[in-house]
Structure 1
């Protein structure tokens, strides 16, 4: 795997000759064994520290070259280990005339054996013996290991005879792989040569194909375990799909089969082209560079490219801001394109191996059969007939993937290589009606559209056929909300839509599952899913720009004018349903009226619901939850009612009366006087805000408090259907109550996703909160609920001071979130509700954010009617429905301006950290 890089001034890293001279002088100076060990450790530690720093400075201060850095680190370690071995066997345990059984050969194995050593990687050593261990060998090994450990190195080691190495290699694929890369360092050279000869003759011989299958299966299992995507926005440079480990796997296979030391030897053997070998080296060097920078900048063996490291590494590698793309986004796009290159290399290697080793497919049950004239089914894979080419008919490229989809077959790696070599032909298909029809068939087919589109994307066909899609390939979205690149997110959204249609998500998405068979615009829906983020990264509103792309592209794909209009509308409004559900009060009739006016028809509402659910679920594995599902369902049902005239036809007082009647009928065991007294407690808005089951729960809670003469009652009700815990607080109303409760909840790290503030006619407050625990889950344990209840009670009774306790609190956001800046923003709107002024507050998430904002609103003399909390990674968006102290909307422009200014002051102060918060 070597890149044959010549070391730069190696004596600056370590001068072994000078080091040996110092150690020899020390060893002959009459020191005691204890003092000699102490001096030896000090000398080696100083030498290692200076050498490590030289390599580090070269990497960080010059032009980063990962290939050189790993070679220089390896050189430093080689010289230290060899010097230590010589010192121990010469001055500490000199055996005199050594017997054959006392011979030792020191070998580097694993990545260190390959000659690549990242700054904080493990050093794997094999102490090779001719027979079993002797007292002499045990002493040498123990002395060396303790010195290396005391140097602060992570050393993996084994002491084995040749027979043990051979036996273990036959039964353990991990050991076999590590020993495949064994490199002699020092000691008995003949012993090392004997091991290598026997390893190749007794382990490798006749086992090549089994090794290949084992390593590919191991790779597939690793991909499955880590998420099976090379487009995660915080990738593991070593282990994730498209990372260094995938290149290692290819090199191990080539080395096992062809006994090579450098990938370029495969060119000489006629197995790879020069361009393919260069692609391997380019990808390897880039990933090495990133990994070395990660290690040096974090001062540990860190392999995950987290957000806080991405900006710094982008700068170190020379990326700069360009129009429409920040330096970090350009760097990460390059990273994902490199990861894609690693996938291309895997396909090329597999094709070459199969062709040159006559490796039969695992499921080859019959002779190849011809299908559709130019293709063959060879086992379980689709292949282009040898006499056929894509140049003869470029349409064959799309036919290949369409046929593989309909027949549920893989495409042969050799054919994929030919596709890659002929990508320029795809551009000729853009205006071909048959090609566009084939593509639309792939997109809308119920048989694994996601997998086929991903293969099209990884083969480079998707972006060539749809250039607008090509612009978002490998495009990262630099925030903590999105998990995948834009192209991967889009393909996953399409896969989610197909799973909805197939009924596979009925438990999680029952409404979407029931709605899907009733839509009339199925093709338009799938095209809209494909195009909903097509204009990201262009600057401006991607929804508006995407709608323009849809208007241009849909006719090319063969969609009718009506379908084109539907797709463009869906792309333009693909965020509006989630905005209304998560950021607006859907109990406010104005919200439903405005949203109904937007969608206009039940068909569009259905399509928007489906697109919204698929979009959110494809953002990342932890983004969708039951609360969001419940809000979207409620918005859907209320809008359907409005579109059919059910809400507008029924007066407000009639609906209030019906709600009261429903509760009256359900309160068994209550006499008429008790019922009427309770019904008189709620203002009309209260009855319209909750369903009957919630009204029942409130009635029981209020009655219990009255019977016990309690001034504070806290009720907690898990809502598994929406995935939240409902926390209801009943106590005398007073200014600042809502803020203090939100602060108490923040102390335990819980997240408030929704809140409703009710004042009863008797002056009592009935405040309701829907919360999630710090992990974004439903707090189900009684212990968690008990601690939450106790904290709220302690805060409301003055036993705990929220402001003081929140100062310096780190919260649940990881340290890497601090790299993001979220400009504070306050929007005050009087048009969204007939009864309330709506205030939207945007800022960076942190402990106590909601507490500080609500305390500011209270200090401004505002009454909060409801709060709707949304968190998008590092960004929090809180929406409040408020009235003034007289229970009216805020109409005066000067007052509105003052509200906005005070909230901005609060947000801007808190951007400097919670330590700036004034206790109060």
Structure 2
């Protein structure tokens, strides 16, 4: 039997399965009930083998490659035994040239590595189609394997069919590239493989490489196109096992290597790089095997609920400022980063060796002709070094390499990247060098794609050594459901977005930020602030405060003056202020604006803070930014900017209200008297808070309701809202105690989640409430029938005589149980001049808002405004309240309400 080299790593293989002893047991079975009894014996052996391998993994949780080889070895022996049983006793093979059968492993089975629940990929080779014996033998063999509950991926082919399939399908070609004879007719297998090499592989290296890289890019796109997504796919994600396999496949196809170690002999890796390859492979196989066993199935996504369990199984422990799961995931992302580094080096070397000028398989290429290279070399259009000791002679060149690449828009040659990675430690001595710091600032503030150069610098390990505080957050995950990327990737993405805003590329998405960028006094301080805004995460304290302290130390080193340093530190300290205020507070309340500008103090800070907030939110993940957040931020910005510019909190407010009312006059074909009457019914806060599109829709709904009904009865609509990407539910009804609770309870029972709520009361006692809702998956209600059902549910709740019972809260999903969310309720009578502001922080789940509203209603308080924000698994719901008499809550009332709301937030569901 041709055994993969990894089988030699398996200690005491007979303890996994003793094929000879089992073969003797099978041979001794009588013909009666042979297949059933043989199946029973094979099942016992398979179960015992799996139990032994699991035991070994528990004892040595980091030996993933050996475990993967052990599972494949076990499968091989089962296939061999089943083959022998079929061909000698169930369907004995006739002495005929057409009665030949070979069994080969493909894919992972061919490589000799399988996870606990991986498919068993087999190819049955037959000399020609139509042999009855071959068909009977394959069918009997498959039935045995299926009865063992093995998931078999199989194909039956003649050599000719195999060749045709390989030429037509790159996936089949790759599978055959790793085909390994397991048992049966060895000569038939070898002949087919020789044909495969001469008729398919020969002369098609460039076609294959291009196809595999295109396949890889498409796979990355499906998986999120980043190796730093917080729930990565161990097998197919960027930086995962499949990327390592791709390197091996290309090396095998182009150079004929038989095992990964031969990639060193071919010059595609040096010895140190191959050690990184092996470390990453061992780690990922360990994670994948643990993942399969814990899930009890073929699971490849490393979900939050699995991360804690695998961290424990692999014996990670808590450290100050970092939990065991965060340490485990940081090591995961460091290995994913290593795979990305190795991929870049491998493809660049491959490109070099394949030698077609102008053809690139590796890093993105800049095309501009360079100006001054300061002694650096240019090798086929890529920035390189003139000699091996170039960085050792002057370590500042380690920073200059990336500064030149950014300035001249040049790709870095793999020779230079290798040398930079090897010599990265030399940059430690340059941290206080003014030239090195100036060059680093050049990279950070480059006019074109600074994120690309920074990512290269990060890949080489130079970034984290030159800025040690940044090095501490490299590959550091943020263990929550809100952030999609590691801290370093999030920061680099934010810098890339900032650069795109500066260049005007995102003017359609962010017109205000694009315009404001042209007004700021110092662009470099904004780039530094974006770099540093999350740099203190994972230190166990308030990362904003700790980050500001880091900024005060680092900015002077980078060459920023005293005023710039102070502003950067302020931006880092308050980088969440704008979003927290806009998303959690009533921005039409003058007190909200007053408190906000008391901290901001200057128009320049306000401009900088808005741009920083925009790129921070967008860099969190692909779906975190929407027009609704834009509207909230813009409303607060405009109010604060007006206050800072004009210097009086009331000036301009009436003008804004009048402008909104005039816009409605222009949009409606009503008599002026009718519009004036409608405008007088609604408070100023309504005209300031709601978007013009909503005000128009509200006016039409109110008019239709009153014309149709003629008396005070509820009118409920549910319509798509392009502004937020959600569904807007509008309620126009007589105001009454507990009205909001009835609405929230009805929506909760209908399966809707409230994203935001705007509550208004007309001067003649009618409620006009606008709520944004989504379905259970966080999506809008696209189906008009579902929207109608939603509106009917609310209407029924409003017209019912009996008050609906307290809405049940959904159970916490298994996935969300991975997170600890400490409930917190804050009661403030200073955040608003007219109301008491209550903020509830709790685990987000269906029915939470309805229960909170019920608690407020039961306490006898009046709700004036509700603001709902969700950050992954955490909900932050803010309520503006008064007592039934219309006054702020007393201290006793506030304390009692706090305890009642805490009880809801703590409820297990």
8 Å Cα contact 2:585-2:878 kept in structure 1: yes
8 Å Cα contact 1:347-1:417 kept in structure 2: no
Q: Give the secondary structure class of the aligned counterpart of 2:9.
A: coil
In the alignment, structure 1 residue 490 sits paired with structure 2 residue 491: yes
Q: Give the secondary structure class of the aligned counterpart of 2:560.
A: coil
Change (3 A) 1:359 1:428: farther
For residues 669-680 of structure 1, what are the structure 2 equivalents within 5 Å?
669-670=670-671, 672=673
Distance (whole Å) between structure 1 residues aligned to residue 672 and residue 391 of structure 2: 84
- How far residue 800 of structure 1 moved from its aligned partner, in angstroms, is 10
- How far residue 677 of structure 1 moved from its aligned partner, in angstroms, is 6.0
- How far residue 738 of structure 1 moved from its aligned partner, in angstroms, is 0.6
1:839 aligned residue? 838
1:645 aligned residue? 646
1:17 aligned residue? 20
2:50 aligned residue? 52
Higher mean C-alpha displacement, 198-207 vs 646-655: 646-655
In the alignment, structure 1 residue 396 sits paired with structure 2 residue 397: yes
Change (3 A) 1:542 1:692: closer
Higher mean C-alpha displacement, 439-448 vs 675-684: 675-684
1:916 aligned residue? none
Higher mean C-alpha displacement, 752-761 vs 817-826: 752-761
In the alignment, structure 1 residue 817 sits paired with structure 2 residue 816: yes
The one-character-per-residue Cα deviations of 1:369-401 (angstroms, maximum 9, x if unpaired) are 996253333334222234762222223322222
8 Å Cα contact 2:582-2:636 kept in structure 1: yes
In the alignment, structure 1 residue 759 sits paired with structure 2 residue 761: yes
1:917 aligned residue? none
Change (3 A) 1:776 1:520: farther
In the alignment, structure 1 residue 771 sits paired with structure 2 residue 768: no
In the alignment, structure 1 residue 137 sits paired with structure 2 residue 134: yes
For residues 735-754 of structure 1, what are the structure 2 equivalents within 5 Å?
735-754=737-756
Distance (whole Å) between structure 1 residues aligned to residue 62 and residue 366 of structure 2: 51
Q: Give the secondary structure class of the aligned counterpart of 2:448.
A: coil
The one-character-per-residue Cα deviations of 1:870-912 (angstroms, maximum 9, x if unpaired) are 000000000001000100111x32222111111112222x2x1
8 Å Cα contact 1:3-1:281 kept in structure 2: no
For residues 483-882 of structure 1, what are the structure 2 equivalents within 5 Å?
483-645=484-646, 648-650=649-651, 669-670=670-671, 672=673, 681-682=681-682, 689-690=689-690, 697-707=697-707, 708-709=709-710, 711-798=713-800, 803=805, 807=808, 809=810, 815-882=814-881
Higher mean C-alpha displacement, 184-193 vs 261-270: 261-270
8 Å Cα contact 2:108-2:114 kept in structure 1: yes
Q: Give the secondary structure class of the aligned counterpart of 2:895.
A: helix
Change (3 A) 1:606 1:528: same
- How far residue 820 of structure 1 moved from its aligned partner, in angstroms, is 1.1
For residues 393-472 of structure 1, what are the structure 2 equivalents within 5 Å?
393-472=394-473
8 Å Cα contact 1:838-1:880 kept in structure 2: yes
Match of 1:37 among 29, 35, 38: 35
Change (3 A) 1:616 1:726: same
8 Å Cα contact 1:629-1:722 kept in structure 2: no
- How far residue 38 of structure 1 moved from its aligned partner, in angstroms, is 3.3
Distance (whole Å) between structure 2 residues aligned to residue 255 and residue 696 of structure 1: 66
1:918 aligned residue? none
1:75 aligned residue? 73
2:185 aligned residue? 188
Distance (whole Å) between structure 1 residues aligned to residue 738 and residue 407 of structure 2: 63
Distance (whole Å) between structure 1 residues aligned to residue 174 and residue 650 of structure 2: 75
Distance (whole Å) between structure 2 residues aligned to residue 220 and residue 474 of structure 1: 22
Change (3 A) 1:377 1:688: closer
| Root-mean-square deviation (Å) | 2.9
Change (3 A) 1:538 1:5: farther
Distance (whole Å) between structure 2 residues aligned to residue 498 and residue 236 of structure 1: 30
- How far residue 643 of structure 1 moved from its aligned partner, in angstroms, is 1.1
Distance (whole Å) between structure 1 residues aligned to residue 698 and residue 403 of structure 2: 58
Higher mean C-alpha displacement, 447-456 vs 873-882: 447-456
- How far residue 39 of structure 1 moved from its aligned partner, in angstroms, is 3.3
Q: Give the secondary structure class of the aligned counterpart of 1:102.
A: coil
The one-character-per-residue Cα deviations of 1:471-513 (angstroms, maximum 9, x if unpaired) are 1100110000000000000000011111212222222222212
Higher mean C-alpha displacement, 675-684 vs 112-121: 675-684
Distance (whole Å) between structure 2 residues aligned to residue 534 and residue 878 of structure 1: 28
Distance (whole Å) between structure 2 residues aligned to residue 610 and residue 382 of structure 1: 33
Distance (whole Å) between structure 1 residues aligned to residue 449 and residue 679 of structure 2: 55
1:327 aligned residue? 324
Change (3 A) 1:809 1:370: closer
Change (3 A) 1:145 1:431: same
Distance (whole Å) between structure 1 residues aligned to residue 222 and residue 662 of structure 2: 54
Higher mean C-alpha displacement, 725-734 vs 578-587: 725-734
Change (3 A) 1:90 1:370: farther
Distance (whole Å) between structure 2 residues aligned to residue 697 and residue 341 of structure 1: 54
Q: Give the secondary structure class of the aligned counterpart of 2:790.
A: helix
Q: Give the secondary structure class of the aligned counterpart of 2:815.
A: helix
8 Å Cα contact 1:369-1:378 kept in structure 2: no
Distance (whole Å) between structure 1 residues aligned to residue 842 and residue 352 of structure 2: 57
The one-character-per-residue Cα deviations of 1:532-582 (angstroms, maximum 9, x if unpaired) are 001111121111111111111111111121211111111111000001100
For residues 327-346 of structure 1, what are the structure 2 equivalents within 5 Å?
327-346=324-343
Match of 1:114 among 92, 105, 111: 111
Change (3 A) 1:440 1:687: closer
Distance (whole Å) between structure 1 residues aligned to residue 250 and residue 679 of structure 2: 77
Change (3 A) 1:190 1:665: closer
Change (3 A) 1:89 1:656: closer
Higher mean C-alpha displacement, 376-385 vs 208-217: 208-217
In the alignment, structure 1 residue 228 sits paired with structure 2 residue 210: no
- How far residue 58 of structure 1 moved from its aligned partner, in angstroms, is 2.8
- How far residue 137 of structure 1 moved from its aligned partner, in angstroms, is 1.0
Change (3 A) 1:730 1:91: same
Distance (whole Å) between structure 2 residues aligned to residue 457 and residue 523 of structure 1: 20
- How far residue 178 of structure 1 moved from its aligned partner, in angstroms, is 1.1
The one-character-per-residue Cα deviations of 1:736-772 (angstroms, maximum 9, x if unpaired) are 2211201222234433232233333443333232334
Distance (whole Å) between structure 2 residues aligned to residue 664 and residue 199 of structure 1: 77
Q: Give the secondary structure class of the aligned counterpart of 1:644.
A: helix
Q: Give the secondary structure class of the aligned counterpart of 2:736.
A: coil
In structure 2, runs of 5+ residues without a counterpart are none
- How far residue 109 of structure 1 moved from its aligned partner, in angstroms, is 1.3
Distance (whole Å) between structure 1 residues aligned to residue 600 and residue 297 of structure 2: 53
Match of 1:218 among 215, 219, 232: 215
Change (3 A) 1:587 1:684: closer
Higher mean C-alpha displacement, 165-174 vs 553-562: 165-174
In structure 1, runs of 5+ residues without a counterpart are 914-920
For residues 56-205 of structure 1, what are the structure 2 equivalents within 5 Å?
56-60=54-58, 62-97=60-95, 99-205=96-202
- How far residue 779 of structure 1 moved from its aligned partner, in angstroms, is 3.8
For residues 271-350 of structure 1, what are the structure 2 equivalents within 5 Å?
272-350=269-347
Change (3 A) 1:407 1:657: closer
Distance (whole Å) between structure 2 residues aligned to residue 4 and residue 360 of structure 1: 42
Distance (whole Å) between structure 1 residues aligned to residue 338 and residue 516 of structure 2: 41
**Scaled by the length of structure 1, what TM-score is found?**
0.92
- How far residue 306 of structure 1 moved from its aligned partner, in angstroms, is 0.7
8 Å Cα contact 2:6-2:112 kept in structure 1: no
Change (3 A) 1:729 1:412: same
In the alignment, structure 1 residue 238 sits paired with structure 2 residue 249: no
